[in-house]
Amino acid sequence: MCGICGIFNLNGEPASPIILRKMTDEIAHRGPDGEGFFVDSFIGLGHRRLAIIDLSPAGHQPMITLDGQYVLTYNGEVYNFQEIRAELESLGIQFRSKTDSEVVLYAYRQWGPKCVERFNGMFAFAIWDKTKQELFIARDRYGIKPLYYTFVNNYFLFASEQNIVL
């Protein structure tokens, strides 16, 4: 099932690792196989993992591209990820895992937000572009994988569940 969450401090102050930990703990039941955190200045991404496709540590999230520019927290399954992976490999991209998560990450790097038009599946994810300082969040067309968001004070918050408390 997995669980994702994030905090974006709109006033530019550092994202609180304490708040991010609290948010991630709230969705612990969504992913008993691991947890991960990424904090960089005013952005924080959290993840609770339920390992299904690639059970190895290579599937740990948040997942970062080799060049460090993009960071992903992802929940879901892209059914056609193997076809997309083959296309990305033909463009010279080398993968470290067998996960659909990594395919989503590199599809975004290759095609930007239009990558979601290629995905057949159920998903919710957030990608941080460190160079552009942009956060992109998306979910599947039918909302099978939940993605809730809100603005509280100077924070943009998102998560797989509504019961995230500060």
Domains of the chain, CATH where assigned: 3-158 (3.60.20.10)
pLDDT score recorded for residue 51 = 67
Amino acid at 3: G
Question: How many secondary structure helices (H) and strands (E) does the chain include?
Answer: 3, 9
pLDDT score recorded for residue 11 = 94
Cβ contacts of 57 within 8 Å, gap of 6 or more: none
Active site residue 115: no
Q: Which two tokens stand for residue 29?
A: 């039941």
| Rg (alpha carbons) of the chain, rounded to whole number | 15
pLDDT score recorded for residue 165 = 59
Ramachandran angles phi, psi of 17, nearest 5°? -60, -25
pTM, full prediction: 0.92
Measured CA distances, 61 to 21, 34, 102, 128 (Å) = 14, 9, 10, 13
- 1, 2, 87, 166: the active-site residue: 2
Q: Which residue has the tokens 């997942």?
A: 63
Strand pairing class (43-49; 155-159):
unpaired
Q: Which residues of the chain have pLDDT under 50?
A: none
Residue closest to 123 by CA, chosen among 155, 80, 91: 80
pLDDT score recorded for residue 8 = 96
On whether the CB atoms of residues 128 and 108 are closer than 8 A, the answer is: no
Cβ contacts of 125 within 8 Å, gap of 6 or more: 4, 72, 73, 74, 75, 76, 104, 137, 138, 139
On whether the CB atoms of residues 160 and 27 are closer than 8 A, the answer is: yes
